Amino acid sequence: MRRSSGLTLLEILIALFVFGIVAAMATSGVTSSLRVQALNEASTSAQAKLRRITEVFTQELRSAVLGGITNLPYASNSSQISFLLLDGGAGYQVVDKAGSFSSRAYVDLAPTGALSDVAYLNGREILLVNNAGEAYVMRVTGVANNSSNGMATYRLNHAGCSNTIAFTPNTLVLSVRSLGLRYDGSSGSLLQRDAGGAAQTLAFDMDGLELEYVYQYADGTPIVRTTPLLEGSVPVRRGLISGQMATLTRVQVTVSASENQGAGREVTRSYMGQVEMSTNPSFQINRVRTC
């Protein structure tokens, strides 16, 4: 007797079992693929964010005037750094006159152009720097013509602050702006602050930032430090390390951040950048003091 067409219960069960295995394998493959895709997207997003943060940080630091690292508005260390940016003009020649230059509360500039060309300096920060690498930052309190000792000059007064450094040939005045960058671990933010101003957020959702100061001996041997060398609490570009003279050649910054890849999982990435310090043969700031 011929069997009626159709599937038996056993055949249906076997088919369903095979289908379940195939579906599970397919689902596992899709899930794994989606997980890898999410991981790649999170990693790419984290790397892009870190690259942008590092570029902003290094771009600012690369503009540091004559390679000078300072201690205002932030004391430079492994999580924060301060430096000077040019804020107009290419520099003004300082004229020496009778008397003690270092104790004066003014500087006289060689008269180039009109007084109005330097009047904008009133109220601004200036950097007084000599060719020995000594520099001093102070704020101008007045600008005027001056003709004492038979010499016509433009006088920049800075009441309450003496010149402090010695006069040398080719002593210059530069208009500058003090800038500090600081990582705030409590908020995971990178902050920027001008001297005397309030801190502003440059980046957020960071996991860390580490600064390293790379000094170099005369034979090229590098020494990596988490703080700059100090003289009297002031950062210096050149100084003794283990009895040998070393020079700050670059600053390295490493930033890290996490990105959510879903399901409560995060991917953490780091990105490093470095800035070669100025090697201007005519002027290199060794130490910057502030009034």
Contact indicator for 222, 196 with CB cutoff of 8 Å: no
Percent of the chain topping pLDDT 70: 82
pLDDT at 228: 96
Question: pLDDT tens-digit profile of 77-100?
Answer: 999 999 998 887 678 999 987 678
pLDDT at 138: 95
Residue with tokens 């790397």: 47
CA nearest 134: which of 104, 170, 161, 158? Answer: 170
Question: pLDDT tens-digit profile of 154-205?
Answer: 999 999 999 999 999 889 999 999 999 999 999 999 999 998 789 999 888 8
pLDDT at 207: 92
Mean pLDDT of 20-47: 62
Q: Which two tokens stand for residue 187?
A: 């908020």
Most confident segment among 21-30, 51-60, 236-245? 236-245
Percent of the chain topping pLDDT 90: 51
Q: Which two tokens stand for residue 87?
A: 């804020």
**Domain spanning 86-176, CATH class:** mainly beta
Contact indicator for 195, 72 with CB cutoff of 8 Å: yes
Domain ranges of the chain: 37-66+75-81+180-281, 86-176
Structure-model confidence comparison of residues 261 and 166, the more confident one: 166
253 exposure class (CB count in 10 Å sphere: 0-12, 13-18, 19+): buried
Contact indicator for 67, 175 with CB cutoff of 8 Å: no
Q: Is the pTM of this model over 0.75?
A: yes
d(CA 179, CA 263): 41
Q: Is the pLDDT of residue 147 over 60?
A: yes
Q: What is the mean pLDDT of the chain?
A: 85
d(CA 156, CA 133): 21
Q: Is the pLDDT of residue 34 over 60?
A: no
Confidence band (pLDDT; 50, 70, 90) for 24? low
Residue with tokens 């693929």: 33
CA atoms within 13 A on the CB side of 201: 9
Q: Which two tokens stand for residue 146?
A: 């001056």
50 exposure class (CB count in 10 Å sphere: 0-12, 13-18, 19+): buried
- Report residue 235: phi and psi, to 5°: -60, 140
Structure-model confidence comparison of residues 230 and 257, the more confident one: 230
Contact indicator for 85, 194 with CB cutoff of 8 Å: no
Q: Is the pLDDT of residue 31 over 70?
A: no
Taking the CA atoms of residue 15, residue 18, residue 21 and residue 24 in that order, the dihedral angle to the nearest 10 degrees is -40
Contact indicator for 105, 119 with CB cutoff of 8 Å: no
